[in-house]
Amino acid sequence: MAQPICVFGGTFNPPHLGHVRACLEAADEIGVNQVGLMPSKLPPHKGTAGVDEHDRVAMVKLACAHSDRLFAELIELTLPAPSYSVKTLGELRQRHPTTPLVFMMGQDSWDNLPSWHEWESIHQLAHLVVLRRHGEFQPAKPDSRLTALAETAGTTNVRHLHQQPAGCIYFANTQLQPVSSTTLRNALAGNDENKHEFQLTDWLSDSVLHYIKEKRLYV
């Protein structure tokens, strides 16, 4: 079977160990050797990323340095704004016409997928692997369009992710990660009354935390 090219996109503001653990666990589950952490420009549906692009790239590279299975995939930053996943995946598809592509996303991204630009085309460019995250808001009534898409394109057979270039949706059975970049930003800014140093070191690698403190980010 072909080894897919796998990317995990996000603002990574900052990149934390929840990102790393979830994507590596999912990679093990689907039989992928490497995952590219792909920092975005300024996603139109999220507004500004909050930290200089240079700093986010530097932190992603530091986060990736702790595992030879991770690398920084910077393709999205080379494309003209605005940042759309369908555009980035289209560029990857042009570069790798027949190679299986896997696009990892969090449960929150999946739940909001219909708000994305040309969202119905995304799974035609790459397989979607959806990661769960602890405490994520679950819609009381899931979007019927997502339900229909999951029914038609969903698979529980990871071999399908290797045997065809795109078109499948796989829900990874990863451990729930009780952290988010928003929570960490609030703690770093002193806006979290439960902030403790050990909590930060539980979820930020030493090198990323050192960089944040050195550059005085999020304060």
Q: Does residue 202 lie in a domain region?
A: no
Report the 10 Å Cβ neighbour count for 81.
10
Give the mean pLDDT of the chain.
Answer: 88
Residue 199: the pLDDT is 78
Q: In this model, does residue 196 exceed pLDDT 80?
A: no
Q: Does 194 or 51 have the greater pLDDT score?
A: 51
Q: Does residue 192 lie in a domain region?
A: no
Say if residues 14 and 209 touch (Cβ distance below 8 Å): no
Residue 216: the pLDDT is 92
Q: What percent of the chain shows pLDDT beyond 90?
A: 67
Q: Does residue 195 lie in a domain region?
A: no
Q: Does residue 190 lie in a domain region?
A: no
Could you check whether the bond before residue 114 is cis, i.e. omega within 30 degrees of 0? no
Residue 89: the pLDDT is 98
Counting the structural domains of the chain, the total is 1
Q: Does residue 191 lie in a domain region?
A: no
pLDDT in tens, 128-172: 999 975 555 555 568 999 999 999 999 999 999 999 999 999 999
Q: Does 219 or 1 have the greater pLDDT score?
A: 219
Q: Does residue 36 lie in a domain region?
A: yes
Residue 62: the pLDDT is 98
Q: Does 7 or 173 have the greater pLDDT score?
A: 7
- Mean pLDDT score, 67-75: 97
Q: Does residue 206 lie in a domain region?
A: no
Listing DSSP states for 119-176 in one string gives: HHHHHHHSEEEEEP-TT----SS--HHHHHHHHHHB-S-THHHHHSSS--EEE--PPP
Say if residues 107 and 132 touch (Cβ distance below 8 Å): yes
Say if residues 100 and 166 touch (Cβ distance below 8 Å): yes
pLDDT confidence tier of residue 47, bands split at 50, 70 and 90? very low
DSSP state of 178: -
pLDDT confidence tier of residue 45, bands split at 50, 70 and 90? low
Q: Does residue 87 lie in a domain region?
A: yes
Distance CA 77, CA 86 (A): 14
What are residue 17's phi and psi, to 5 degrees?
-70, -20
- We report the CATH number of the domain holding residue 49 as 3.40.50.620
pLDDT in tens, 74-129: 999 999 988 899 999 999 999 999 999 999 998 888 999 999 999 999 999 999 99
Which range marks the domain in which residue 122 is found?
5-178
What are residue 23's phi and psi, to 5 degrees?
-70, -35
Residue 128: the pLDDT is 98
- Mean pLDDT score, 177-184: 83
pLDDT confidence tier of residue 49, bands split at 50, 70 and 90? very low
- Mean pLDDT score, 197-203: 76
